[in-house]
Amino acid sequence: MAGALSLDLVRRFPGGAAVAASLEAAPEGVTVLFGPSGAGKSTVLRCVAGLEAPDVGVIRFDEETWFDRAHGVDVPPQARRVGYVFQDAALFPHLTVEENVRYGARARGAPPGAAGEALERLGLALLSHRRPAELSGGERQRVSLARALASRPRLLLLDEPLSALDAPTREALRATLRDLLAAVGLPALLVTHDRIEALALGDRLAVLAKGRIRQCGPVAEVFARPADLEVAAVVGTENVLPAEVAGEEGGLVHLRVGPAELSAVGPAPGRRCFACFRAEDVLLEAPGGSPTSARNRLAATVRALAPEGPLSRVTLDCGFPLVALVTRRSVEELELAPGRPVLALLKAPAVRLVARAG
């Protein structure tokens, strides 16, 4: 039966750097440790696995204490019964696919048949006699997943399992991993810095920045409503605008942002704040367009366009910089080009207000 993971730890490094993490992970679903490189995500994962020991703190799973520095408890990795999937697959090069997976099963005393079940679940039966050098990157990572599952773990740890793959393989394996996690019903802790991966695979998100967990909550909620500027930067909120509150009325906060006015859903966190919103929440239309439900209508001039796959990132001048993310078809229909005047539309609920010093 799945159990809940809780941890409250500090891991210090030479030179003064430290990772401090306090987290409660649900007994089911995927908790994502999200943040930039060097934030401490993998350190937290390795502490949970027992591969590193915190300098201070406690790690518990279900009703077991895996680590307690004050009481001298440090359960060895093999006794914690976690499955660990590394970024680089970490397979034995001299063993076949089947032998790699069976090794994982034997090492944890899994029942007979566990390796075969894992191979079938990951679609690897036809590749069972190949060695890692004969596999693609995506196939090697599927073997790594199968090896972790064959050990019949109580908790699955995934350390950026898709980051070393090319884009098409990453997309295909992301779908496989999402279906797999839903099917096996294991609690999982996933490390990633990829927003799409976090949204596609995660149920809850813990944002790490500068060695500390800054915000936890449902994935979509954290991305939509960052708690502060640092979290906003980590989750990729492109528009962070200094604002002053001009008034509040009917649940709306009226803001002055440069020469323009914006409306947001209240309450205001103070007279001075930041108005934060994502580029995809900004809609563009030609000047003189029909009225819409968007409370914010800003006259703008296109400054630059940058293609991003099927989308285009449009940099605007509204008297202050603004970024919009629109489809290529919208670029063509609106004839967007540097110097082109447009209207930028933004619904009030899309604007997140964050307190500003002073």
**Predicted local distance difference test score (pLDDT) of residue 1:** 39
Task: For residue range 85-112, list pLDDT tens digits in order.
Answer: 988 888 999 999 999 999 888 877 777 7
**Predicted local distance difference test score (pLDDT) of residue 290:** 67
Task: For residue range 251-290, list pLDDT tens digits in order.
Answer: 889 999 989 999 998 788 888 888 888 888 898 988 876 6
DSSP letter (8 states) at residue 95: S
Average pLDDT over the chain reads 88
The pTM assigned to this predicted structure is: 0.77
Interior angle at CA 109, CA 180 and CA 77, nearest 5: 80
The distance in angstroms from the start CA to the end CA of the chain is: 51
* Residues in the chain where the model's pLDDT stays below 50: 1
**Predicted local distance difference test score (pLDDT) of residue 230:** 86
**Predicted local distance difference test score (pLDDT) of residue 3:** 65
Number of Cα atoms under 13 Å in the Cβ half of residue 57: 23
Helices marked H in the chain: 41-49, 77-80, 97-107, 114-121, 137-150, 167-184, 195-201, 219-224, 229-235, 328-333
Residue 35, judged by CB atoms within 10 A of its CB (0-12, 13-18, 19+), counts as buried
Query: What's at 103, amino acid-wise?
Result: Y
Q: Which domains are assigned to the chain?
A: 5-229 (3.40.50.300), 238-355 (2.40.50.100)
Beta-carbon contacts of 117 under 8 Å, excluding residues fewer than 6 positions away, are 150
- The CA distances from residue 86 to 110, 135, 164, in Å, are 20, 17, 10
**Predicted local distance difference test score (pLDDT) of residue 280:** 87
- Tokens at residue 334, please? 């609106």
